[in-house]
Amino acid sequence: MTEIRDKLARLGLLPGDPASTDAFDDATDRAVRAFQQRRGLRVDGVVGAETYRALDEAHWRLGDRVLSYAAGHPYVGDDVAVLQQRLLDMGFDPGRCDGIFGRQTESALREFQRNVGLLGDGTVGPQTLKSLDMLRRTVTGGSPSDRREEERLMRGGSVLSGRTVLLDPGHGGEDLGACAHDLTEAEVAFDLASRIEGRLGPLGVQTLLTRGPDSCPDDVARAQLANDTAADLLVSLHTDAAQSELPCGVATYYYGADLPDRTVTSAVGERLATLVQREIAARTDLLDCHTHRKAWQLLRMTRMPAVRLDVGYVTNAHDAARLRTPEFRDAVAEAVVAAIQRLYLPEDQDLTTGQVRIPALAG
C-alpha cells in the first residue's frame, strides 16, 4: 500500500507524506479514482492489474531511462508517449501516441536521428535527448496524429469494398461475461458479430472474428490479431451489467487518455464511436449513454481505429427483453454497418442518421 500511495503522491494526487500511513483511506480512494478518470480507465477505486500498470507507466519521464525497441518486451510509459508526441510535432510518424515503443516508433526515431546528423541507431540516449530538447514543433494547424489517421482512413476512397473489418465478440469459451435474465454476454456478442458479418460480406468487406464460439483470447492477443491482419477497423462487442437493476442503455468507447502535457485520442475512432452511438440510439429505444474515451488495452494496443460497443445491460429487465429478440439484434447489426459506411463518406455525401438500410447500401 505504501508503494501505491507513493506513486499517487509523485503524481500530485495524494498530498502529504505517503509513508505516514499504509491504510487505504478515503484520501487514497479519491486519488485512485482521480487517476483512473484521468487515464481513461474504469473508475472503481480498485488498484487492479490495469490500474497498477498505469500507475507504473505514469511515473516515467523522458530521460529517466534509455529507450529503444525491444521485440516482445517493448518499453511502455509516459516517457515513450512524450517521445512519440515530439516526433509527431516535428513531422515524423511514430504511429499513435500510445506510450508503447514499437517498430513504427523506432523507425520514426531513426529517421529523426538521421535528419539531425546523429547515428540512426533507434536509441534515445543523451545526444538524441539533447537534439529533442533543442528542436521545436514544426508542424502546425492541428494535431499531426489526427491528420495522419484521417489520411489513412480515406485511402481507397468512400467505398467499403476491399476493406477489412475485425469484429471482436467479448468474452467466450468458459468466460460467459455478464449473465442475467437468461442472457450471457458472450452469446449475445458472438451473435451480434455474426449478424454484422452477414451484412458486411455482401458489401465486399472482408470480415474476421477475434474468436470462435468456444475460445476466449485475452485483449493482448485480440489486439495482436488485429495488427497482424492490418485490419482497417476493429469493432468490439459487449453488453454491460451492474449490481443494481436500474442502470440501462448503450454506450460506445474509443481510445483516449490524458498524458503528461496533453490529451491524446483516436480522432477516427471517436468519429466512428459517435456514428455507431447515434445510429443505435436512432434505431432502438435504449437509453443513449453517449460516447466516452478510454485507454483500455484493446483500444490502446490496436494500430487501427477501434471502438467498443456496450449495448444494453443484461441486468436491466427492459434492456434484457430487447436483447433477447432477433429483431433488436438485427437493428443493432444494421446500425453498426450503417455507421461504418458513413465513416468513409465525404461530408457532402453523408447519410441521414437512422435512415440507412442495408439493401440500399448493397445496391
Do 9 and 35 form a contact (C-beta atoms < 8 A)?
no
Written as one letter, the residue type at 342 is: R
Q: pLDDT tens string for the chain (363 positions)? A: 788 888 898 888 887 665 566 778 899 999 999 999 888 898 999 999 999 999 999 989 999 999 999 988 999 999 999 999 899 888 899 988 889 999 999 999 999 999 999 999 999 999 999 999 888 665 555 566 677 777 778 777 788 899 999 999 999 999 999 999 999 999 999 999 999 999 999 999 999 999 999 999 999 999 999 999 999 999 999 999 999 999 999 999 999 987 766 788 899 999 999 999 999 999 999 999 999 999 999 999 999 999 999 999 999 999 999 999 999 999 999 999 999 999 998 877 787 887 777 654 444
Name 124's Cβ contacts closer than 8 Å, sequence gap at least 6. 62, 66, 67, 68, 83, 109, 132
- Written as nine digits, the cell of 10 is 509523485
Domains of the chain: 2-58 (1.10.101), 78-140 (1.10.101.10), 151-362 (3.40.630.40)
Do 199 and 333 form a contact (C-beta atoms < 8 A)?
yes
> How much is the pTM?
0.84
DSSP state of 349: G
Do 276 and 204 form a contact (C-beta atoms < 8 A)?
no
